[in-house]
Structure 1
Amino acid sequence: MSNLSGFVKRVRDVMRNDAGINGDAQRIEQITWMLFLKVYDAKEEDWEFDDEQFESIIPPKLRWRNWAHVENQHDGLTGDQLLNFVNNELFPTLRKLEINSDTPIRQSIVRTTFEDANNYMKDGVLLRQIINIIDELDFGSYEETHAFGEIYETILKELQSAGSAGEFYTPRAVTEFMAKMIKPQIGETMADFACGTGGFLSSWIKELEAIKDAKGSISNEDSEKLYNSIYAIEKKQFPYMLCVTNMLLHGIDNPKVFHDNSLTKKLLDYTKKDAFDVILMNPPYGGSEKEDIKQNFPADLKSSETADLFIAVILYRLKKNGRAAVIIPDGFLFGNDNAKVNLKKKLLTEYNLHTVVRLPQSVFSPYTSITTNILFFNNEEPTGKTWFYRVDIPDGIKYFSKTKPMKLSDFDDCVAWWNDRKEIADEEGNSKAKCFTSQELIEGGYNLDLCGYPHEEEEILSIKETIINYKKHSEAAEEKINSTLAKITEILGIEL
């Protein structure tokens, strides 16, 4: 496990010297395709051990063990030879691997992973150094693989500061909280239709493994159900590649993760076989969809807002009695356009929208300052009431940031309240937790912007009032300074 320490720093230090790497996003993408091949090669060793008939979809010359791995780090392709091999043999071949409907998922993911991947490095000597660092990782060891899973999470976390790439990363505290509250059961299926780097999938598996550990042991059939319970789609290549590697590291040999767009199928074409027991999601928001995408939705749910369309997909793909937890922006809560109103009407009258958890503004900082919320709802008969709960920033910090991210423990008060629900007012008398009937919400025009964060009202003063106000505050400040100076001089015995 010692070779894991400082892994990220070592790779970063080498890459800084390569003229082809421009910024964090390219650095992480560069690391990821190499990590994928290293992890995939370790998996193939396992599959070969279990099945003597196993044949790799990757041609022998292009398997990690045959070009990247070397016993002596002074051996192996390097410089221009290595660049020529990677750019003109490795990538073109993997992008065009032959796959068909009979190709197992664990093999088809190789081509999908490389279809839009890139090698940004221009210095073949530096590229060899990176390959050697990655090759030191021992994925044949269970302990090492598990430990690296933690390091991989830190790599994913860095996406938050990697420009627009941050949109694919949901803070782990949030995904873990949502997975805990949804209470997974072994045998259930879970889906994420815009999975990004796979945060919700990881948190779901973590919860199921906790159940497995608590039982001591489970049958092979249940174990198989656990690791085959996920289904995910990701539209963009880079997060797709990250997610697949993430799932392989989590022991999922056949990750049902697809490089596709969840919005391209007609909503009304979904049937019961397309539904899932649980849906955990942070749909993309703020985006605008083209007319051909909107045509896949009925008139009452048609919207140019990406998040609205995903909510519609979730409603249509959630099994009867299924459970969902979905992150949505504030705009959905108070929005009154046709699609938003109709979606909220469905949630209140056809589904059981039982809880709305309001998150602090800075949870997704620095990627976005948009305030978000979590909708918890079931595909069951409505109870006729919806609880709202506001999660406040903990004492001692003004806002969450990259250096002070949200922690799972910041949800402790919410978890305690969840199991013993009561209405709560804060010190200013504003509602922090409150229950509303569906009738109240409907009569309020489907406005779900309730139990929100108090905002200071802006006071508009005249010029004269502004001058008087300034003079009053400056005089008070000067008096405080003079008083403090007087105390200091008295203590020091200084006469002025």
Structure 2
Amino acid sequence: MITGELKSRVDKIWDTMWSGGVSNPLSVIEQLTYLLFIKRLDEIHTRQENKAQRFSKPIENPVFGPDQDHLRWSRFKDFAPEDMFNTVRDQVFPFIKTLGNKGEEDGEGGSTYTHHMKDALFMMPTPRVLANVVDQLDSIDMSDADTKGDLYEYMLGKIASAGQNGQFRTPRHIIKLMVEMTAPTPKDVICDPACGTAGFLVAASEYIQQHHSKAIYKNDEARRRFNEGTFHGYDFDSTMLRIGSMNMLLHGVENPDIGYKDSLAQADDLDEEKYSLILANPPFAGSLDYESTAKDLLQTVKTKKTELLFLALFLRLLQTGGRAAVIVPDGVLFGSSKAHKSLRKMLVEEQKLDGVISMPSGVFKPYAGVSTAILLFTKTNSGGTDNVWFYKMEADGFSLDDKRTPQPDKSDLPDLLARWQNRENEGKRKRTEQSFLVPREEIAGNDYDLSINRYKEVEYEAVEYESPQVILERLAKLEEEIVSGRKEIEALLS
């Protein structure tokens, strides 16, 4: 999480945009994202230049052509405000909107990013505001990937604080935990049906690049599969799609399948059994209209509640053997409605429910105080649940108040991950511990209740108190000391 000087700088940039007339938080981050992307393009081109010079070879796949040098961040950042504004508005912005169409006949096709950028608008109000923002962004050293990620995370948080539901922001450390628990590989086909800014897809791509770089770059076919066939995300907010696709591009995925779709609506293209891994934090927006909801989802679970419909959707999208790590509100775990119970029974009896992680309610503060859990399951269509692993997360490395102050010494995440990766040893744990296994039969006997408090045992330590007589004697002695002290003070004052 962003802190200190960097946080202050981002706040100052945000204030510059705000006072300049860009008051919608979504518009602010969209414009800042474009500028960050333009800066990133110049960094990529500079790296390619340096490589070419080092090996005395022509530049491979240059971002900018010979006559486009003035479009580079490192060039126009020194222009006078008016010239900078005209250059970015009239030349740089149109350039990035068509990026990805190179080599496409008659300009059709191109990347997902290009498709979403068609409707993008340059909204910087004045040359002075643009020059000010460019100067401030240029002063931030973003060579470190973590710094860049933290900066982007902080800006996305500002969107959530102004959003209606705050559903499009999941803390990066929680996303990273879920990705590490599912351990994606280059063979996976990964989907987030409510992708927002593509946080889960970005984290999954980083994990694969870190752990399987040789496999994804071994040849052109593997590289193409990673860039075009591995990552799939859907949302029905065009601004989110632009930010999400650009976020993926900034993290090295050139052409992910990020598209416009209301995942719960009736559609001809169902994407049935298409994905091997689903990572998601779907919106908990309440109730939907029956008429607009996909009929096959309503056949699976008859409800208007989006959190239950999304779980039914995940089961439809997953291949047999596919796995999922998804965030749900606590109500899903113990809700007493027929739809709640039938869906939990389906996960336990017809699929393989692997784990339930109870998270503290402060994880999503200051944007929301809702209590949530992580469900991990595998689609089998033939059962397979023997024991369900439960873990009670009590701390995530940050304070659980609205300030969310970093507390790295108070994090259950390393312990959680270590226990998950060694679940074969979890059977020995007692119900009084932070994690334990619960047999399927016991869960079924409890009406498929998945709340950890149903199964966790609490140890109460016996406390021995002194007898009332001893306590009264001590109080009498204290009273005497108080009276004596008061008399001494009175004597000094007389």
- Coarse TM-score class (shorter-chain normalised): 0.7 to 0.9
Cα distance, 1:320 vs structure 2: 1.5
Measure, in 2, the Cα distance between the counterparts of 1:335 and 1:195: 26
CA distance 1:293–1:44, shift in 2 (3 Å):
farther
AA of the residue aligned to 1:444 = N
The aligned residue for residue 375 of structure 1 is: 375
- Residue 130 (str. 1) matches residue 133 (str. 2): yes
Answer yes or no: is the 8 Å Cα contact 1:300–1:338 preserved in 2. Answer: no
The aligned residue for residue 72 of structure 1 is: 78
Q: How does 1:72-471 map to 2 (within 5 A)?
A: 72-74=78-80, 76-77=82-83, 103-106=108-111, 108-113=112-117, 115=119, 119=123, 121-131=124-134, 133-134=136-137, 143=143, 148-164=148-164, 166-212=166-212, 219-220=218-219, 222-228=222-228, 229-266=230-267, 269-272=270-273, 275-296=274-295, 297-380=297-380, 381-393=383-395, 399-404=400-405, 409-418=411-420, 419=422, 420-421=425-426, 422-426=428-432, 432-451=434-453
The aligned residue for residue 14 of structure 2 is: 12
Answer yes or no: is the 8 Å Cα contact 2:157–2:169 preserved in 1. Answer: yes
Give TM-score, length-normalised by structure 1: 0.73
Gaps of 5+ in 1: 455-475
Cα distance, 1:370 vs structure 2: 0.9
AA of the residue aligned to 1:445 = D
Deviates most, 254-263 or 33-42: 33-42
AA of the residue aligned to 1:437 = P
Gaps of 5+ in 2: 1-5, 50-57, 457-471
**2:412 alignment partner, SS class:** helix
Answer yes or no: is the 8 Å Cα contact 1:67–1:76 preserved in 2. Answer: no
Measure, in 2, the Cα distance between the counterparts of 1:212 and 1:16: 42
**1:373 alignment partner, SS class:** strand
AA of the residue aligned to 1:27 = V
AA of the residue aligned to 2:29 = I
CA distance 1:283–1:102, shift in 2 (3 Å):
farther
AA of the residue aligned to 1:448 = L
**2:76 alignment partner, SS class:** coil
Relative contact order: is structure 1 or structure 2 higher (C-alpha 8 Å, sep ≥ 6)? 1
Give TM-score, length-normalised by structure 2: 0.73
Answer yes or no: is the 8 Å Cα contact 2:283–2:306 preserved in 1. Answer: yes
Measure, in 1, the Cα distance between the counterparts of 2:105 and 2:482: 85
Measure, in 2, the Cα distance between the counterparts of 1:357 and 1:169: 19
Measure, in 2, the Cα distance between the counterparts of 1:267 and 1:338: 28
AA of the residue aligned to 1:231 = H
Cα distance, 1:310 vs structure 2: 1.2
Measure, in 2, the Cα distance between the counterparts of 1:177 and 1:328: 15
Measure, in 2, the Cα distance between the counterparts of 1:351 and 1:267: 26
AA of the residue aligned to 1:289 = L
AA of the residue aligned to 1:167 = Q
Answer yes or no: is the 8 Å Cα contact 1:187–1:225 preserved in 2. Answer: no
Report % sequence identity: 26
AA of the residue aligned to 1:65 = L
Measure, in 2, the Cα distance between the counterparts of 1:359 and 1:146: 25
CA distance 1:270–1:123, shift in 2 (3 Å):
closer
**1:324 alignment partner, SS class:** strand
The aligned residue for residue 469 of structure 1 is: none
**1:238 alignment partner, SS class:** helix
Answer yes or no: is the 8 Å Cα contact 2:276–2:321 preserved in 1. Answer: yes
Measure, in 1, the Cα distance between the counterparts of 2:324 and 2:106: 30
CA distance 1:346–1:267, shift in 2 (3 Å):
farther
**1:168 alignment partner, SS class:** coil
**1:263 alignment partner, SS class:** coil
Cα distance, 1:405 vs structure 2: 5.4
Render the CA deviation track for 1:163-190: whole Å, top value 9, x for unaligned.
Answer: 4474211011111111111122232221
Deviates most, 253-262 or 404-413: 404-413
Answer yes or no: is the 8 Å Cα contact 1:208–1:226 preserved in 2. Answer: no
Measure, in 2, the Cα distance between the counterparts of 1:403 and 1:260: 33
Measure, in 2, the Cα distance between the counterparts of 1:325 and 1:68: 42
Paired positions, count: 445
| RMSD between superposed Cα atoms in Å | 4.7
Render the CA deviation track for 1:56-97: whole Å, top value 9, x for unaligned.
Answer: 9xxx99x99189952632164468x799x67xx969x969x9
Measure, in 2, the Cα distance between the counterparts of 1:280 and 1:216: 22
